[in-house]
Amino acid sequence: MSGPSAEKRRLFELEVLPELDVVFTAASSLAHNADQASDFCEKTMVRAYQSFDPSVIGPGCRAWLLTILNGVVREAKAGAIGAAGSSTSRQSAPLGPGKNQEIDLPLQGLPDDSKAALILVDIGRMSYREAAKVLEVPIETIRTRISNGRALIRNALAALGRRLDRA
């Protein structure tokens, strides 16, 4: 295989695929179960490949991928709201990025807006400005969501620590 499509594939594999772990971590934190996280990640990577342009190579690549993921998650939520009344499917417990589910629960318990901002900044290592662009909100909104989210996580972890001390 040679030509433009071979070069596109080579550049995609070289520049985009190394970000797959970050995309999957973010997808896992936003999903309700492992299957949904895999679905989010797969859809994100397919869309990324379809719209791949070498101009996204470099520092903007992660932000670009997380923007695509954000769109995939938004579409899934919009579809879930429409299907909520007729669906009887069972969902498993929230899936977090780490192996200790008890510590991941504070992140899962956050409002979606705060959770998305924290995932982009703390897990995805994006700047506040980049996260604001991905979520299409003012930077001040990102600052507020992160501040509120971190406070909620601190309180939840403190409560967890007190429970473990009593155990």
In this predicted structure, what is the pLDDT of residue 3? 63
The average pLDDT across 77-88 equals 61
Domain count, the chain: 1
Any residues with CB less than 8 A from the CB of 1 and at least 6 apart, and which?
Answer: 9
Give the model confidence (pLDDT) of 66-76 as tens digits.
889 989 988 98
Range of the domain at 57: 4-166
Assign 109 a pLDDT band (cuts: 50, 70, 90). Answer: confident
Using CA atoms in the order 24, 105, 100, 131, what is the torsion angle rounded to 10 degrees?
A: 30
| Res. 100: pLDDT tops 60 | no
| Res. 99: pLDDT tops 70 | no
pTM score, whole prediction: 0.66
Measure the CA–CA gap between 41 and 141, rounded to whole angstroms.
Answer: 26
Residue 151, domain CATH: 1.10.10.10
Question: What are the Cα distances from residue 153, in Å, to 72, 107, 118?
Answer: 26, 7, 11
Q: Is 140 helix (H, G, I), strand (E, B) or coil?
A: helix
